[in-house]
Amino acid sequence: MKKYLFFLYFGLLFIVANHFAYSQVLKPISWTSETSKSEIKQGQTIDLIFKAKLQESWYLYSTDFDPDLGPTVTVFTFKNNNSYQKVGKIKPINSKKKYDETWQGDITYFTKTAEFRQTIKVLSTDLKIEVSAEYQVCSEIDGKCVLLDESFVFDKIKVIPDENAKEEPKNQTQDTVKQELTENKTPDSISENKEIAKKTEEITQFSSDINEDDSLLGFLLTAFISGLFAIFTPCVFPMLPMTVSFFTSRSASRSEASFKGLMYGLSIVGIYTLFGFLVSVVFGADAANMIATNWVLNVIFFITFIAFALSFFGMYEIVAPSGLLNKVDTLSDKGGWLGIFFMALTLVLVSFSCTLPIVGSVLVMSANGEFLKPILGMLVFSATFALPFTLSAIFPSLLNNLPKSGGWLNSVKVVLGFVELALAFKFLSVADQVEHWGILDRHVYIAIWTAIAFCLGLYFLGKIRLPHDSPSEKIAVSSLLLAILTFSFALYLFTGMFGAPLKSLAGYLPPQSTNNFDLLAEIRKASLGNANEKANTENKAKYSDFLHLPHNLNGFFDYKEGLAYAKANKKPIFIDFTGHGCVNCREMESSVWADPEVLKRLKNDYVVIALYIDERLELPENEWVTTKEGKIKKTMGNINAEFQVSRFNNNAQPFYVLLDHNEQLLAKPKAYDLKVQNFVEFLDAGLMEFKKR
């Protein structure tokens, strides 16, 4: 009977391998400002204090490391006026320092909270200080980075006049706390250029659901497979003939039995869907960040999954309270719809120990900040789960084709225990990354998963027997095949301990940088280094003297120039919103762009425009952009970032957009996705649509 494990095992692997979409406009940080004194005498000094609060799992780069290393340092710019004078440089308070494997150098950063202080000397009673900050925050979980800016105004400080104080001449330049390597002088007049900030509502509508359809479909498919798997657990499968027999024996006709079976199935769906609704109400739209990054919740999930895994292995039994079961069972003896509903509730409670881990996994996967996803997940799961009960009540002869209960049901339970054990360490890994404990680095995590997969293979071969397993003298062919697949998976995992990227499991493994021997980083460093040496030797595009594309691709770094070239050469446009400090961008370039099929299309079919959102080059005044909020964007990076947000309602990188010569979308924009085939299909769809137009 173990042949049924084949399909079920792959269902579980699908759950492990699936990962989901990206949010849109992100701002995981909030700022406040204050002064060290509320009242000061003219001629004295005072500290301006800038404080930031970061969401869990996000970190902010500080101001005091090498700006040429790669990541974007935080930059505070002070607007010139005669009312104050800066004293020294801005100081980060209690920043953390570490050696970053990706950038091959020391960086300083903040987690949870950040503080910066700047001392100034007050020169005038008419004191007004305007400060802008540009900074980069990144996620510790998935490596996503966003470049943001903030404005501060200090005009509430009470200044006591000093008759002996002399007004000092204006001698201050704008400060770029980037080791003060550059000084940006602000012109008195500011021109407005809104050409980049315009364009259509259609594009915003497209980008608002980037990857949403794909992620929802994958999630619902997972819920469907989970519902199928739940049917074949030892808590549920034996209930199938018992429940159908109950309806047929208490019904006057087959049509009545069919009607009751249908009501029974709908009741099961209603109970689980109500549970999903309650989860949405309790957690709300903020469930994503809380469940994904809160270390306490993730440790609780870890302990819970370990407890269920040990129960599935046969160490002990986890059951619903007997008093509750007896009460519900008594209510189920009542006639009518109410009795049918309580029969369904009895099934849900009796199957509690087998289905709760599956239901919990579906709900955790649904927590992406959406209200409907838990409800839809439970709807699909419960509909699949209830379907055999309803069909068997309508067509009782189907029961004759079902396998008999036996030891194979316990084998299903044990396999589920192994999977629960592996998933438990995923939750512990999230807590470890958020809190920087360093107890579950990539090589340790992979070693644990490898050991679990190896033990599961031994179980399929019958070399490991657990308390409730039935004795078996022979190994079924299906068990042998499953053992081979499991051992192959274990060997695949083992290569990751030496730096193999394990792309199919990227969303479930700790960062590559935590590995003892990071082979991927060495390969990436070599490949990108060669590309940077050779790229743009033929391309004389604007800014190509210091900006480069990987893999010898020729392209542009200015949107207008690239658009003009595309029109002249009758090619569609490929926009790459990227950044110097974007780790995921580098992963996409080395894992996806490097594929021959992708590279061929980018070279031959598209005009590539790379728009860096963290480039500090200040552009000429006639290229500055004024936002709707009245902020002036002067640097290339800020203008590109504003272009991305205003046109495509997105501020995360990498982000890929395909446009025609009228600047209209050719396909739905694409974000971080390491599946090469998806990227090929994305490029092909855009090219096909371009040819149609």
Give yes or no for a contact between 497 and 443, defined as CB atoms under 8 angstroms apart: yes
The per-residue pLDDT for 212 is: 44
Nearest CA among 453, 461, 463, 467 for reference residue 410: 467
Query: Would you place residue 669 in the very low, low, confident or very high pLDDT band (cuts 50, 70, 90)?
Result: very high
Sequence-separated (6 or more) residues with CB below 8 Å from residue 588: 654, 672, 673, 674
Return the minimum-mean-pLDDT range out of 126-130, 134-138, 651-655: 651-655
Instruction: Tell me what percent of the residues of the chain surpass a pLDDT of 90.
Output: 21
Residue 3, number of CB atoms within 10 A of its CB:
14
The per-residue pLDDT for 279 is: 64
Give yes or no for a contact between 70 and 171, defined as CB atoms under 8 angstroms apart: no
Residue 557 has pLDDT above 90, yes or no: yes
The per-residue pLDDT for 456 is: 94
What is the pLDDT averaged over residues 20-26? 47
Nearest CA among 132, 125, 169, 137 for reference residue 57: 137
Return the minimum-mean-pLDDT range out of 355-364, 552-561, 641-650, 664-673: 355-364
The per-residue pLDDT for 142 is: 63
Return the minimum-mean-pLDDT range out of 153-162, 333-342, 565-574: 333-342
Three-class DSSP category at 253: coil
Locate the domains of the chain by residue range.
Answer: 4-19+208-513, 29-164, 519-613+653-692
Return the minimum-mean-pLDDT range out of 162-176, 286-300, 475-489: 162-176
Instruction: Tell me what percent of the residues of the chain surpass a pLDDT of 70.
Output: 67
Q: Is the peptide bond before 620 cis (omega within 30 degrees of 0)?
A: no
Nearest CA among 608, 551, 548 for reference residue 575: 608
29-164 architecture in CATH? Sandwich (2.60)
Task: State both tokens at 51.
Answer: 């404080």
The per-residue pLDDT for 609 is: 95
Beta strand pairing status for 129-139 and 145-154?
antiparallel
Question: To the nearest whole number, what is the mean pLDDT of the chain?
Answer: 74
Residue 79 has pLDDT above 80, yes or no: yes
Query: Would you place residue 475 in the very low, low, confident or very high pLDDT band (cuts 50, 70, 90)?
Result: confident
Query: How many residues in the chain?
Result: 693
Higher pLDDT: 427 or 203? It is 427
Task: State both tokens at 481.
Answer: 């095949």
The per-residue pLDDT for 288 is: 42
Give yes or no for a contact between 145 and 581, defined as CB atoms under 8 angstroms apart: yes
Query: Domain 519-613+653-692, what fold?
Result: Glutaredoxin (3.40.30)
Q: How far apart are CA 285 and CA 368, in angstroms?
A: 8
Residue 90 has pLDDT above 70, yes or no: yes
What is the pLDDT averaged over residues 83-105? 85
Give yes or no for a contact between 15 and 421, defined as CB atoms under 8 angstroms apart: no
Task: State both tokens at 213.
Answer: 């359809």
Give yes or no for a contact between 367 and 292, defined as CB atoms under 8 angstroms apart: yes
Q: How far apart are CA 263 and CA 277, in angstroms?
A: 20
The per-residue pLDDT for 673 is: 83
> In the block, which residue shows the tokens 């207008």?
560
What is the pLDDT averaged over residues 235-241? 60
Higher pLDDT: 635 or 486? It is 486
Query: Would you place residue 680 in the very low, low, confident or very high pLDDT band (cuts 50, 70, 90)?
Result: very high
What is the pLDDT averaged over residues 325-354? 63
Residue 463, number of CB atoms within 10 A of its CB:
11
The per-residue pLDDT for 282 is: 61
